Structure 1
Amino acid sequence: MTPPLPPHILSFFVFIFLTSVVSSQQFLTSEQTTLLNLKQRWGNPPSLANWNSTSSPCSWPEVQCRNGSVTELKLDSKELTGPIPPFICDLGNLESMSLRDNYFTEEFPKVFYNCSKLVELDISQNVFFGRLPDDIDRLSKLTFVDFGGNNFTGDIPPAIGNLSALTSLSLYQNLFNGTIPPEIGNLSNLVTLGMAYNEFADPVMPPEYGNLSNLKILWMTETNLIGMIPESLSNLVSLRSLDLSMNYLEGEIPPGLFLLTNLDTMFLYLNKLSGNLPSVIQSTNLTQIDIAMNKLNGSIPDDVGNLQKLEVLNLYSNQFSGEIPTSISQIPTLRIFRVFRNKLTGEIPPEFGLHSKLESFEVSENNFTGKLPENLCAGGALTGVIVFSNNLTGEIPRSFESCVRVNSIQLYNNNFTGEIPPRVWTLLNLSSLRLTGNSFSGELPGKVAWNLSRLEIDNNKFSGPIPSAISSWEKLNVFKASNNLLSGEIPRELTTLSELTDLYLDGNSFSGEFPSQIKSWNSLTILNLAGNKLSGQIPASLGSLPNLLQLDLSENQFSGQIPPQLSNLRFTNLNLSSNKLTGQIPSELDNSVYQNSFLNNPNLCSNSHISNLHNCYTKSSRKKFSPKIIILIIILSSLVLLLAILFALFMFRDRLKKNPKPKPNRTTWRLISFHNLDFTEENILSCMTDANLIGSGGSGKVYRISVGPPRGFVAVKRIFNKKLDRNLENEFSSEVQILGSIRHSNIVKLLCCLSNPNSKLLVYEYMEHQSLDKWLHGKKRKPEPGLDPHFVLDWRRRLQIAIGAAQGLCYMHHDCSPPIVHRDVKSSNILLDSEFKAKIADFGLAQILEKQKPGDDNMASIVGSLGYFAPEYAYTTRINERIDVYSFGVVLLELVTGKEPNGKDGELNLAEWAWKHHGESDSIVGVFDSDIKDSDTYMEEMSTVFKLGLICTSTLPSSRPSMKDVLEILRRCNPFDELPEEMKEGRDEFDVAPLLKRERYVTRPDENDGVLVAQV
């Protein structure tokens, strides 16, 4: 037993203990005072309401203590504003401070230098600006630094390489525009390095970064990197995640890069990368490889099959050639396989799906031959079979009847044969079945999948009648069955499909009369029955379809008169040619707009001299009067006319001698063509009348002019009508220069231009559905010709339009050399063809970046359209692609919300309103357009597009994604499950929530025409 301490020693220890407690209590009281002063300096924010003088700071959620002293201060997302007070470092034992996601607006606070024990500092997602100080290495004990999501500019100071204790350094998403310091390579303890989303001026990756032997994450997305990937990166033996996406790297990937034995995740969206994939890939821990959307070439290495933990392999949109290694199909963990849009050949390995649970299989737009793998659905997880535009043969495997999760099967443009396995038609989740351009045969089923909305079987060998049970295909939107062997009568039940919008049955052998009563086609916009054997009268009920825009009944045996009810519709395309129609054309259709709509109907007549048709007045006159009376009328009329001419010559003979009539001044037009033309300038000039006028704007008028088959119509834009001013001349020159030299399916074709000293004519392909804004907002104003006020754009079409427009802008920004900036992206400049395919139009303000000269403000002074132009564009003459991204973001918000871009009577514009709603509401449902808000199936897609619109309209240009990224997100938006893996998993590095949270600032120029930001 230990003997008791002597009384005097025991007293000594009690004294020491009590002294320590008192001292600690006094110290904590002092720190409490410091914290309460901080609260007061920051305006007593409600988020710190629990900070009070009656409780211990160590009990506050934002404060951590050790031994009775504050060691950690976590003030994330507290909506704090103002400067950082210097007395914050009176917290003498403070080791960790996080001020993430607030509204601090000042230069880098050097007050942190006084926090002598600070090892972790997070000031990310604020509005700090200016340069990082050159003596930042005074914070010598730091192990964790996050300066991301601010507005720091200039160079990253080399002194940062002296912070030898650092394990994590995050500088992402700032405005750094200087060099990338090689001194960072000295940080031997570094585990995470994030420098993404900066626009470095000398963007060569320093080879010294290969010295970072402990580095696990290297994140340098969109940093303007050029040149080759340094060979030294092969020394990063601890690397797990490498993201060099959205850059301009070139050359081959270093052969040793995939020898990194600890690499877990690889994201290599290496824009502009060329060369061969390394022949040796032996990392056994790789789970994801994404090198999509580049210019990589060569074959896919066999060694990829050695990656036994690989889950995702994305190689699409490159120039890979050769065959798919069989070993890839044997990887037991493979879920996502995407190699579409390459130059791959040979047969698809038959073991795909046999060894792993495939979820996505996309091999379209290659040159594959042979049959489809039998076991694609063996794992029960496949959601899509996308193999279109290859040379595949054989029949659809019977095993496809077990594809219970598949929602999309796209086999079009191949050489498949045989019948569709019966249960494929009724797969539980199937919504899209596209079989166009094969040699499939058999009859149509009576029952299809409950959710099937798109069925395309045109250009095949399907036969037999349309089953009367087609009334059960209730969700069908698009039914394309052109050019098959279908026969029999068109069943009345077909007209009960209320959601049908596009119906193509042309090029078959249908006979009998068309159903006279049409019950539920209120959504139908296109009806094509051409090239059949239909007879009887054209149903008058067609005239009651509120949204019908295209009607083609040509090459049938319809008889009788044209129903006058068809005059109620405003057709963009009408073709009743080659039938047996009789009588007079209804007066509303009897004009030059429908010049070619009634050909080869001998017993039709016209009052407006439509070519190839009799004049109705002449015919009726011949029936009423005998031939003798007609001859007498003609003789008397001729005599009267002759006497009138002689009298006129006699009366004005002297005047004509004294004042001879000047010779007519024939205006000479100059024509420049950019495509093969099937019309002449006379076709255009003779029809420039008000009857053909379809629109007008600040710079001129637009006409719809018929030029005959096969083109039908063209759109003619007349720029000004008098002497052109300088801006209008610039617009004309810009449009001709750009549209005359670029070709893309999502950019409107400029066919030719005509000019004379007083007028400029631009002749484009005609877009049947005109502009997007008329479909979104036309119902809110007086209807215009060609626009039905009751038509509703469903969500599928809106997403299709967004993707098409993004493809056009992506081509301009990333595939044109030099890049082209449109500068006036808006919904009225997005035109829609007969299938609602979007095309970018109106390049009057567009500018080729390479040709922009400093100080040239002629074009830069025109800032586009109110509500669409980016904030920085109002005060700077610098032009870059980010202004188009902002404008396109507004268009995305229009598509989702249905709102117009401009606020009225002092209201917020659409972008400001959307940000405000996002900040104030927990639910996103309230923003959706009333026309689409009930589309529960697409709720996630609409939410994603809304959020994408928010990010595109970020106030800071550097916060906006590129059009290449915008396009990729939109393409993967349907279904949401097929978004890129890094987005689905929500990695912290790619988290968009902080971007949305902090974008409530206004921009202003600095003295160097840069960008500073101040809190609203």
Structure 2
Amino acid sequence: MAAATCLPLFVLVSVLMAASTSPSSAAETPQELLLDFKASLQDPSGALSAWSSSTPYCNWPHVACAISAAANATVSVSISLQGLGLSGDLAASSLCRVRGLIALSLASNGFNQTIPLELSRCASLASLNLSAGAFWGPLPEQLAMLTSLVSLDLSRNSFEGQVPAGLAALGGLQVLDLGENLLSGVLHPALFGNLTSLHLLDLSRNQFLDSELPRELGRMSSLRWLFLQGSGFSGVIPESFLGLEQLEALDLSMNNLAGVVPPGFGLRLQKLMTLDLSQNGLSGQLPEEIASCSMLRRFEVHDNAFSGELPAGLWSLPDLRVIRAQNNRFTGRLREFPGGQSRLEQVQIDNNSFSGGIPQSIGLVRTMYRFSASLNELNGSLPDNLCDSPAMSIINISRNALSGTIPAFKNCRRLVSLYLAGNGFTGPIPASLGDLQVLTYIDLSSNALTGGIPTELQNLKLALLNVSYNQLSGRVPPSLITELPAVFLQGNPGLCGPGLPKDCDADAPSRRRQGLAVAATVASFLTGVALLAVGAFAVCKRLRGSESSSSSSPWKLVLFHPVRITGEELLAGFHDKNIIGRGAFGRVYLIELQDGQKVAVKRLVNSSGKLTFRVAKNEMEALAKIRHKNIAKVLGFFYSGSDGEVSIIYDHSQSQVGSLQDLICAPKLTICWKDRVRIALGVAQGLAHLHHDHAPQVLHRDLKSSNVLLLGDELEPRVTGFGIDRVVGEMAYQSCMSSDLNYKCYVAPEQSCTKKPTHLMDVYSFGVILLELVTAAQRPASDGESVDVVKWVRRRANVTDGVSQILDPSIASAATQKGMQATLELALRCTSVVPDRRPAMDEVARSLQAISFASVHPQTPMLTKSPGTLEP
């Protein structure tokens, strides 16, 4: 009995002794293996400093352990190192020997390497997340060895090549996210034939894929989320998609799909909440069965060639929040909304052929904040309750055939934008608009409105008030006439005021003037005689002087704002002593007028030949309509008929302290981090206005730090030099830009091989400015020649401790570190070589707003939204 009990004890002691004397065995403990893994990492923030041999590994930060209740009491280990700023060469072999490792997240770091093949030995892994980890290279076939995987997230990296067909071996996989990479080629049908357990499949934003939509996707009966947007898919939507009964979100937008939506689409998709077919080449009529998707929240089919009527039942779906069907060929009447039962928030149906009246029930939809139906054939009058929704912020029903009077809109307390241009509205402008405190944009142009401009509109902080081409009359309120471009008032012969063709005092009868009529006549006669004599002398003198001067076509001065300036003053101001800047398109002069006001004049070089006055005037009028606090105001232009030369006249603030380039190129950039973020935010908001808020869209195309002016002690930024390509023409623009070598680093790499410019080129240029603000532009020479900031930053980012060498050391501190790193990451996204990986300017502005808020309130964490998050 004693021997029987001692034998197990002897064996146990022997094992313990062997473990204590064997180095290889000791190294196999989870604690030591994880410390080996930590040793392979670069951890500049010390996030893993608490990992030590003196503390049980299950108590380490970023490590979680779970002990099963089974008899063997196995330990399951989950490691989450997401967003810790880690880099280095991963010691995956040590990591994979940790028993019970079921979850590993290395997301949002900067490893800058291929996937270590040793990761395929982590046999127990159920979840692997390498998203946004700066990984690159081909996807290794060895990933198919991780047969226990349930979730695989490799999104937002730079993986390239084909998707390995061997991944089909992962039959238990429920999440496969390969979005936002550089994957290419044709998708292998076998891959999807076997992955029948998938709940989420994301192949979005892989622009180099060259594949039709695989029919095998329809076999994934468990699929709930399918994201294929922006990946170059072609062909038609397979009929097999009709059987995806568990589908909740389907995004096929921004592809090259053609043909019609399969008949019956939606009949069995009772769980579908998001449907996005936008920006393709789809055509035909949408199936009525789409209205069977009773849980649908977002319906987006804009920018296609759909025709016919929208499915009748669509408008009455109980959970529908968004309808975006603009830029198609839809016809028919708009259906009535189900009143208080509707949860619609946004309806955009611009640029179609809808007819009939605006639904009378629109004001009963309490959640509606945007109704946009411009460029249609709508008729009738506006419903009195159009703006009764307490959330209504944007109304755009311009360019229709609407008539009648404009309602009082007294309940529109949140109305920001009101666009009613190009209709047949009559009657007065409602004075009640002046009571809507947040109303900022009003366009009532090209109607038949009568009466005066209400003085109550002076109560608003307007960025736009366009009342041109109506039948308005009377005096323009003083504060409005000083702020509005003249083009927003033109086409109303009855309007009068300073700077307008009609003087308000000219028609006012005066008894005193009538009583002195005779005296005035006599005085006028004598004065006329004197003036004739002086005039004759001046004409003779000018004719004699013209004999020795070269003949030229007259200059034409066009002003959009009331400015006391003459063509002679401008010509006299084109002197070298007045030059304050030189660029690809010419010189900038600072000219002081007789009344002490200063204007900045950019004298453009037009190398494409003669530019007609009519073309120049049309383009300049469009630029003069742009109003934003961070956009320089265009006052007018000066035109030479001899060579088509155009000089743009900008407003010059007395508080202007120079350009952003002046500060960056100073011997020492002294502005603090908070001010740098504020400057960047102002520029981003100005560009976002050009790209997204102004209609039509305006591209800058010459954005650089010298075109960002700074005003006052607060260094308020103001963007200038925008839209010059529209004035000089594309040929002249390309010629000037190719010769401007000093600013080549601001130019997006795709510009030389792309026929059509895009807003993403401006985003690239803005990213360069962000890098200048983060680095203070203190870039050393490389091999005897200077390098641009984008190349310099990317080279630094690839070396050990590179980030700390990139950030401006004069302001880099514990308090600013997080904000500077977030801005650096944003700048690198903006300057991505792949255009589709760059964020839009409105997204950039939102990100900078969060960074700016955190710089003022450092105790508040910066909340950022993952690009892969689905909005409901």
Instruction: Give the CA deviation at 1:56.
Output: 1.0
Aligned partner of 2:302 in structure 1 is 316
Would you say the 8 A contact 1:228–1:251 is kept in 2?
yes
| Cα distance change of structure 1 residues 488 and 719 upon mapping to structure 2, 3 Å threshold | closer
| Cα distance change of structure 1 residues 799 and 380 upon mapping to structure 2, 3 Å threshold | same
Instruction: Give the CA deviation at 1:309.
Output: 2.1
Would you say the 8 A contact 2:763–2:841 is kept in 1?
no
- Structure 1: distance between partners of 2:256 and 2:499: 47
Aligned partner of 1:529 in structure 2 is 500
- Structure 2: distance between partners of 1:354 and 1:97: 48
1:399 is paired with a residue whose SS is coil
1:195-344 residue pairs with structure 2 within 5 A? 195-200=203-208, 202-255=210-263, 257-259=265-267, 261=268, 283-344=269-330
What letter is aligned with 1:989? G
| 1:31 counterpart = 2:2 | no
- Structure 1: distance between partners of 2:824 and 2:43: 32
Aligned partner of 1:42 in structure 2 is 41
What letter is aligned with 2:837? R
| 1:173 counterpart = 2:47 | no
What letter is aligned with 1:112? L
What letter is aligned with 1:41? S
| 1:75 counterpart = 2:81 | yes
| Cα distance change of structure 1 residues 105 and 824 upon mapping to structure 2, 3 Å threshold | same
Normalised by the length of structure 1, the TM-score is: 0.57
Instruction: Give the CA deviation at 1:881.
Output: 8.6
- Structure 2: distance between partners of 1:924 and 1:498: 47
- Structure 1: distance between partners of 2:399 and 2:696: 22
- RMSD (CA atoms): 6.1
2:534 is paired with a residue whose SS is helix
The match for 1:451 among 438, 445, 448 is: 438
Aligned partner of 1:123 in structure 2 is 130
Instruction: Give the CA deviation at 1:304.
Output: 3.1
| 1:194 counterpart = 2:202 | yes
Aligned partner of 2:747 in structure 1 is 869
Would you say the 8 A contact 2:747–2:764 is kept in 1?
no
| Cα distance change of structure 1 residues 807 and 557 upon mapping to structure 2, 3 Å threshold | same
Instruction: Give the CA deviation at 1:375.
Output: 1.4
1:604-753 residue pairs with structure 2 within 5 A? 619-620=533-534
The match for 1:349 among 314, 335, 354 is: 335
Structure 2 residue ranges without an equivalent (≥5): 68-72, 511-519, 552-569, 590-600, 625-641, 664-680, 709-719, 781-787, 794-802, 851-862
| Cα distance change of structure 1 residues 947 and 209 upon mapping to structure 2, 3 Å threshold | farther
Aligned partner of 2:414 in structure 1 is 429
Aligned partner of 2:595 in structure 1 is none
2:868 is paired with a residue whose SS is helix
CA deviation vs aligned residue, 1:169-211 (integer Å, no higher than 9, x gap):
3333333334433331233333333323334464334444444
2:55 is paired with a residue whose SS is coil
Instruction: Give the CA deviation at 1:247.
Output: 2.1
Instruction: Give the CA deviation at 1:389.
Output: 3.0
Would you say the 8 A contact 1:129–1:150 is kept in 2?
yes
Would you say the 8 A contact 2:701–2:762 is kept in 1?
no
What letter is aligned with 1:869? V
| 1:396 counterpart = 2:382 | yes
Instruction: Give the CA deviation at 1:331.
Output: 2.0
2:222 is paired with a residue whose SS is coil
Instruction: Give the CA deviation at 1:52.
Output: 1.6
Instruction: Give the CA deviation at 1:376.
Output: 0.9
Instruction: Give the CA deviation at 1:142.
Output: 3.4
CA deviation vs aligned residue, 1:827-868 (integer Å, no higher than 9, x gap):
8999xxxx99946456459899xxxxxxxxxx9999782441
- Structure 2: distance between partners of 1:449 and 1:333: 30
Would you say the 8 A contact 2:257–2:282 is kept in 1?
no
- Structure 2: distance between partners of 1:14 and 1:903: 69
Normalised by the length of structure 2, the TM-score is: 0.66
Aligned partner of 1:553 in structure 2 is none
CA deviation vs aligned residue, 1:585-623 (integer Å, no higher than 9, x gap):
xxxxxxxxxxxxxxxxx99x9xxxxxxxx999863277x
Between the two proteins, the alignment pairs up a number of residues equal to 721
The match for 2:165 among 158, 161, 165 is: 158
Would you say the 8 A contact 1:308–1:333 is kept in 2?
yes
- Structure 2: distance between partners of 1:210 and 1:920: 53
1:768-783 residue pairs with structure 2 within 5 A? none
| 1:147 counterpart = 2:154 | yes
| Cα distance change of structure 1 residues 802 and 84 upon mapping to structure 2, 3 Å threshold | same
- Structure 2: distance between partners of 1:133 and 1:53: 34
- Structure 2: distance between partners of 1:41 and 1:243: 40
CA deviation vs aligned residue, 1:901-925 (integer Å, no higher than 9, x gap):
9955549959979996999899999
| 1:888 counterpart = 2:762 | yes
Aligned partner of 1:957 in structure 2 is 834
What letter is aligned with 1:84? L
- Structure 1: distance between partners of 2:120 and 2:57: 24
Instruction: Give the CA deviation at 1:969.
Output: 6.5
| Cα distance change of structure 1 residues 926 and 441 upon mapping to structure 2, 3 Å threshold | farther
- Structure 1: distance between partners of 2:176 and 2:229: 15
Instruction: Give the CA deviation at 1:162.
Output: 2.8
Would you say the 8 A contact 2:451–2:472 is kept in 1?
yes
Aligned partner of 1:1006 in structure 2 is none
What letter is aligned with 2:478? T
Would you say the 8 A contact 2:256–2:281 is kept in 1?
no
Would you say the 8 A contact 1:776–1:898 is kept in 2?
no
- Structure 2: distance between partners of 1:796 and 1:31: 51
| Cα distance change of structure 1 residues 317 and 143 upon mapping to structure 2, 3 Å threshold | closer
Would you say the 8 A contact 1:885–1:952 is kept in 2?
no
- Structure 2: distance between partners of 1:412 and 1:883: 27
What letter is aligned with 1:429? R
| Cα distance change of structure 1 residues 922 and 238 upon mapping to structure 2, 3 Å threshold | farther
The match for 2:358 among 368, 372, 379 is: 372
What letter is aligned with 1:529? L
Would you say the 8 A contact 1:73–1:96 is kept in 2?
yes
CA deviation vs aligned residue, 1:775-834 (integer Å, no higher than 9, x gap):
99669879xxxxxxxxx9999865432348997799xxxxxxxxxxx997768999xxxx
CA deviation vs aligned residue, 1:442-481 (integer Å, no higher than 9, x gap):
464265212222333344444445555555x242343333
What letter is aligned with 1:286? L
What letter is aligned with 1:375? S
| Cα distance change of structure 1 residues 334 and 418 upon mapping to structure 2, 3 Å threshold | same
- Structure 1: distance between partners of 2:30 and 2:182: 36
What letter is aligned with 1:153? E
Would you say the 8 A contact 2:300–2:322 is kept in 1?
yes
- Structure 1: distance between partners of 2:779 and 2:177: 41
Structure 1 residue ranges without an equivalent (≥5): 1-5, 262-282, 515-526, 537-555, 560-581, 583-601, 606-613, 623-629, 646-665, 667-687, 705-713, 721-731, 749-760, 783-791, 811-821, 849-858, 928-942, 977-983, 993-1016
What letter is aligned with 2:181? N
- Structure 1: distance between partners of 2:819 and 2:106: 32
- Structure 2: distance between partners of 1:745 and 1:482: 13
In percent, how many aligned pairs have the same letter?
Answer: 22
1:526-565 residue pairs with structure 2 within 5 A? 529-530=500-501, 534-536=504-506
Instruction: Give the CA deviation at 1:126.
Output: 2.0
